[in-house]
Homo-oligomer: A and B are copies of this chain.
C-alpha cells in the first residue's frame, strides 16, 4: 500500500478497512457463544455459493466482509467458542491476535538470521524464557548446548527429532547414501498418529514402528519397551528413537519418563518427549511432575497454541544438542551464504525445520506472555484443570456413567454404561444441537466420550451447562431406545 492511488490499497483505505476488521473480530468474539459450535454445513454448501470465476476487475473490501458473514461463517466450526470441547483446544486471545497482526504487517521472512535478526533473536529469547517458566532442563536453552525453535505443529517437531535421531543412528549415512538396513522406533499404542506419519516420511517404514503396550492408566510399560529393544538388538536391528508422550491425545496419559529415559540412555536411543497439549501445565509448580525425567530426553515439544493462549500455529520444539539437529537438516547454496552464518555466531533457523521460509511467530507468543504474565497463565491453567476435576466429580455421582481414564489434567474421558451405539448417538445429538462440540475416542476398545476443557473463554459455567445438556440428551435417548 502507498499514498498514491494505484492498483494497491492506499494507506487511508487500509486504515479504514483495518478498523472494520478489528470491529468484525470483536463482534465475532462477542457473539461466538451463540453460534452453533460444529458447523452445520453439508459437503459443497460453501463452494456452492462462490462464483465460478475469479473477478476480472477488483472489488471492494466491503464485499469480502459481507461474504464473511453470509457465506463463510456458516461453514466455520467455532474453535473459539467456549462450548468447544472437541480434540484439544486451539487457543486464541486478544494479545495473540494483536501480536500476529504485527507479524503479518511486518511481512518478514526469517529463514536466516540476516533476513531479520529480530525474528531469530526474539524467538530464541522467548523460547529460553519458556524453559524457565516450565522448569525444563537447562540443556534445552540456547545458552547451553541446545535451544528452541517455533514449528507449526508437533507433527513437524516429531519429524525433525526423528531425522536427527536417524542420522545419529546411521552416522549421517542415510542423508548421504540413502537407507540401508533397519532402524527401529518405539512409542506407546496411545501415541499420536504423527509418529506413524514421521516414520513413513523418513523411510523407516511402519513395520519398524513398535507399538508398546500400556498399563491400566494408558501409560507406556517400560518393561515392554525394554523387551522390544532387547529383542530387536538380538535380531540385528538398530533401536534409534523412542517417542514418549506427556498427555496422550486419547486420555492425557503420562508415560513414565524416568524409566523410559534410563532404558534409552542404556542403549543409546534418542528420546523425544511429546507434550503438545500438556506441557503448558508445567507453568504451575503443582503440575511440574508431568515432566519428571525429562532431563533424560534429547528433544521435547509443547504447543502454546493448545493450552497457552497463543494462536495456531505455535509449537515449541527443543533439542539438547542443536548440532545434531542442524547437521541433519542443513543445506547451504551460494545465495543463502551470509557472513554471519559463516562465522557461526548466529542461528539460521531454516536449518532447524522442514521449510526454508518462516514467519515472525515469536511476536504473538511474546505478546501473550507479556499480557498475562506468568501468574495470568497459571490462573488460566488452574481454572481449566479445576473445572475438569469438578466435572469428574459430577460424572462420578451419576452411576449411569463411568470414567474411562483418570482425569490427569484438563481432559475427562467417560461413557454411558451401555452400548457403543448409544454413546455414539449421544455425541451425534449433542453436536447436532450446535450447543457444544465433543468428539470420541476408543479406550479399552470401547467408544469413549472425550470432554476437553481448554478454550480461552471456557469457564465452569460452560462446563456444567454442557454436562446438564449431556444428562438431558441421555434421558431422551433412554426413553427412545434400548441401551
Contacts and interface: CB of A to CB of B under 8 A. Distances in A.
B193 A336 contact: yes
A102 B21 contact: yes
Interface stretch (A169-177, A263-271, A469-477): A169-177
Interface in A439-478: 439-442, 450, 456-457
A304 B113 CA distance: 24
A221 interface: no
B205 A50 contact: no
A203 to B, nearest CB: 2
A38 B105 contact: no
Given A15-B23, A58-B370, A371-B9, A39 B117 contact: yes
A112 to B, nearest CB: 9
**Best-surrounded residue of A17, A179, A376 (most CB of chain B within 10 A):** A179
A291 to B, nearest CB: 18
Given A54-B374, A356-B194, A450-B335, A104 B106 contact: no
Contacts of A354: 155-156, 159, 197, 201, 354
Interface stretch (A25-33, A392-400, A402-410): A25-33
Contacts of A155: 354-357
Contacts of A61: 95, 98, 367, 371
A2 to B, nearest CB: 6
A379 interface: yes
Contacts of A183: 178
B203 A174 contact: yes
A45 interface: yes
B58 A372 contact: yes
A56 interface: yes
**Best-surrounded residue of A39, A182, A249 (most CB of chain B within 10 A):** A39
B24 A94 contact: no
A279 to B, nearest CB: 16
A79 to B, nearest CB: 5
Interface stretch (A124-132, A225-233, A252-260): A124-132
Given A38-B114, A155-B355, A122 B207 contact: no
B346 A63 contact: no
A169 to B, nearest CB: 12
A95 B305 CA distance: 25
Interface string A328-363: 110111111000100001100000001111010001
Interface residues of A, number: 160
Given A121-B47, A193-B332, A56 B374 contact: yes
Given A28-B105, A193-B356, A249 B335 contact: yes
**A contact patch SS:** helix
B440 A76 contact: no
A470 to B, nearest CB: 18
A56 B17 contact: no
Contact of A334 (B72, B117, B441): B441
A236 interface: no
Contacts of A71: 118
Contacts of A63: 370
Nearest to A439: B335
Contact of A116 (B77, B122, B192): B77
A182 B254 CA distance: 40
A367 B335 contact: no
Nearest to A113: B43
Contacts of A92: 104-105, 107
A204 interface: yes
A369 B55 contact: yes
B116 A75 contact: yes
Given A3-B30, A104-B311, A179-B179, 13 more contacts: A7-B372, A9-B94, A45-B117, A54-B126, A76-B116, A97-B104, A104-B104, A152-B355, A153-B355, A177-B208, A249-B333, A250-B334, A335-B439
